[in-house]
Every structure is written in structure tokens, then in C-alpha cells.
Structure 1
Amino acid sequence: MAVGIKDLMEEARADVRSITVEEANALRDDPDHVFVDIRDVRELERDGLVAGARHAPRGMLEFWIDPDSPYHKPYLAEDKTFVFYCASGWRSLLAAQVAQRMGLRCASMEGGFGAWRKAEFPTETRD
């Protein structure tokens, strides 16, 4: 029997801590938390991102996390909690689940960047 996206999302919701945009905003200046935008670079260029966030495209996330990968990014090996987000929260929930399985402390931001912008929290443009 095939597994659908609803099944994957339900499993991820059971595994990963989800936080609201209000909770996320309260953590934005906390040096122990790193915001990670997993959206495609075109989305960042078009819409911007959470002020101070790092970018890790969803398609490269596992490679950037694994220290044995030639694509590893050292910031993803820091002893911090990573707050993943995407446009609406679906991709980031699945990304946070994978990152958590790979040993990172994670949270997924509910509602994603869309909810963040709607709340009028700080954003910045991508250079």
C-alpha cells in the first residue's frame, strides 16, 4: 500500500515540535536558535525571508547536514536548535523531521513564511 502526503505529514507532526510564528518571533534574536528557510531560491528572491535566517534548499538539506558529505555546511553542525520554515509549513515539517532524524534539534514553524509576513514580523530581501 502506497503512503500519501497526508500520511507523511501526520507522522511528521507526531515526531517534530511545531511552533507558532509568535513563538518563533520570540526566538528570532536568541543565539541558540537558527532560522532555516528551505524554500527554493526563486521564492526567496521573489518574497524575501525571515530577517537573519539562513537558507538551505530542501533538495540539498540532507547533504548540507551530513558532515561526511562534500556539500556539508558547518553552521548545520552547531549545537543549536534549528527552526525550519517554508512558504506554508508543509515542506519544512518534513524537512525538520529528516533533520531531526539526522541528529539536529529542530522545530517547524507553523504557517511558514506566509503566516510570518501576515503577522508583519521582520523580513529581509535576498542579496
Structure 2
Amino acid sequence: MANCFNTHVEEARAAVRSITAEEAATRHAGGALFVDPRPAEAIARTTGRIPGAILAPLERLEAGEIPPQITYHKGEVITACQAGPMGALAAHTLVKAGVARVAFVETGTQGWIDAGHPTER
């Protein structure tokens, strides 16, 4: 099972642009829409989320349930999970669903915190 997950993550990382936490902070200030693909419980018990990030669990995105905030956003959409893998998968899912200008935070929300940026719960 882990090998299958890792294979999907590798495919997603190869297909979608990744950005650093510092690049994410610049885009955040510029109005990019942030998406956290973790379940709310996971966000609450770990790192919190990047301020303003909408919650869109990966399993729902993969089922084709793309929130309208994403569908109608005219700017860049950036995904970030705790450490990166789910963010990559979510970004790839959005690209396959036709969302333009998608990237993911390579080091996830933990990298965002490590770079000195706040989170919210």
C-alpha cells in the first residue's frame, strides 16, 4: 500500500509545480487561494492551516467534489498539507480537473511554520 501511495506522490510531484514556503508566502500576500487537503481533525491536531486556506479533503477532490471557491478563482491555487505529499496529490487532482495555475508547497504547512509564518486553527 505504501509503495502505491509513494508512486502516486512521485507522479504528482513530476506533473505539478512545487514552490518553497517563502514563495508561498509571497503568493499568499498576492492573493493566491490556498487549499488544505487534510481532514479537519488532522489540521486541528497537527500544524493548523495556512491563514485563509480553504478545507478541501483529498478524498473529496479525488471524487470530483471541487469547491466553487477553487473552480471560480481567477488567480493561482496553492495546496499545502502538513509535509507535502497530500498537497502534491491534491494539486495534481486539481490540474486533472481542469484548474489552471496550480502549485503545491513542497514542505507543506510544516515548512511554512519553519520559515516563520503563522498558521490558524
Does TM-score exceed 0.5, indicating one fold?
A: yes
Would you say the 8 A contact 1:81–1:104 is kept in 2?
no
Post-superposition CA distance 1:42-65 (Å, at most 9, x none): 122223211121111112114332
**Match in the other structure for 2:54:** 54
- Please identify the structure whose Cα radius of gyration is greater: 1
**Match in the other structure for 2:69:** 75
Residue 28 of structure 1, CA deviation: 0.6
Q: Distance in 1 between matches of 2:61 and 2:12?
A: 16
- Length-normalised TM-score, structure 2: 0.85
Relative to structure 1, the CA distance from residue 5 to residue 48 in structure 2 (aligned partners, 3 Å threshold; closer, same or farther) is closer
Identity of aligned residues (%): 36
**Match in the other structure for 1:90:** 85
**AA in 1 matched with 2:111:** A
The runs of at least 4 consecutive aligned structure 1 residues that moved more than 3 Å come to none
Q: Distance in 2 between matches of 1:87 and 1:93?
A: 11
Corresponding residue pairs, total: 115
| 1:12 is aligned to 2:12 | yes
* Ranges in structure 2 where 5+ consecutive residues have no aligned partner: none
Would you say the 8 A contact 1:16–1:93 is kept in 2?
yes
**AA in 2 matched with 1:7:** T
